[in-house]
Amino acid sequence: MKRMILIVVLCVAALGVVLFVQQSRKSEAKGGVIEAIEARRSIRKYSDKSVEREKLQKIAECGVAAPSAMNSQDWELRIVDSKAWIDECTAIFVEQIQGTPTGDKMLTPDFKNMFRNAPAVIFVAAKGDAYSDLNAGLLGENMMLAAYELGLGTCCLGMPLMVLNEHHPKGKEKLASLGFSEGYRLRYALAVGYADEAPEAKQRDLSKIRFVE
C-alpha cells in the first residue's frame, strides 16, 4: 500500500514538473505584454506572403477587446486583403502624388501599394464624439500588439485619408465600398503583413516621465 502511494506521489510530481516546463517554454516563446510593447516596431517593408484570415480575425477581435469610454465601443473595423481593391485604391493615390515631392519619395522601384506594400489592411472608423479618437487609439494599440504576438508586422497609417475621404471624387467611392455606418469617420488604416525588415528601436525620451511629489 505504501509503495502504491509512493508511486502515485511520484507520478503527480513528475506531471507537475512536465506542466511547469511546458508553461515555462510557452512563456519564453510568447514573452509577455511588456516584452511585446518594448519589442514591437512599425514595419514599412513586407513580404508578399498573404496573411491568414484567422490571424486577421484574431487581431480585430483583440482590437475590440480594448476599453472604451463608458463601454461605448464606438468603432467599426473593415478588413481588406483583396489585392484588386488595394491596387485600385493605390492607383488613385499614385495619380494624386505623381510629380510631387511626396511622389518622388514614395514611388520607388519597390513600390507596390500605398499601404507600405502590406498585403492586408484594417480600416478603423469611429463616431465623432469627444472620446472617439481615444477609443480608436486604444483599439489600434491592442491590434498592433496582437499582431506582434502572431508573428506579424504592422504600421499605423494616416496617409490613406488623403484619398479615402468624401472630398476626393474617386476616393469617395472606395471609402463607400468599405461600408461604414452613417456617422462614422475613417480615423486610420493599419497595414498588416509578414515583416521584410527588422528596424532598430528609436530612442525614447524618458525625461517626459515625472513623479509629482
Question: CA-based diameter of the chain, in Å?
Answer: 88
Give me the number of domains the chain comprises: 1
Question: What is the mean predicted confidence (pLDDT) over 6-30?
Answer: 44
Structural domain contains residue 121? yes
E-strand spans in 136-199? 153-157, 185-193
Q: Would you say residue 204 lies in a domain? A: no
What percentage of residues in the chain have a pLDDT greater than 90? 81
User: Residue 76, Cα to own-chain centre: how many angstroms?
Assistant: 14
pLDDT digits (tens, 9 = 90+) for 71-114: 999 999 999 999 999 999 999 999 999 999 989 999 999 999 99
Q: Which CATH number does the domain housing residue 83 bear?
A: 3.40.109.10
- Over residues 167-191, the mean pLDDT reads 95
Mean pLDDT across 161-175? 93
Q: Is the pLDDT of residue 53 over 70?
A: yes
- Domain housing 110: 43-193
Asked if the structure places residue 125 within a domain, the reply is yes
C-alpha cell at position 187: 480615423
Reported as a pLDDT band with limits 50, 70 and 90, residue 1 is low
End-to-end CA distance of the chain: 65
In DSSP terms, 195 is beta-bridged to 46
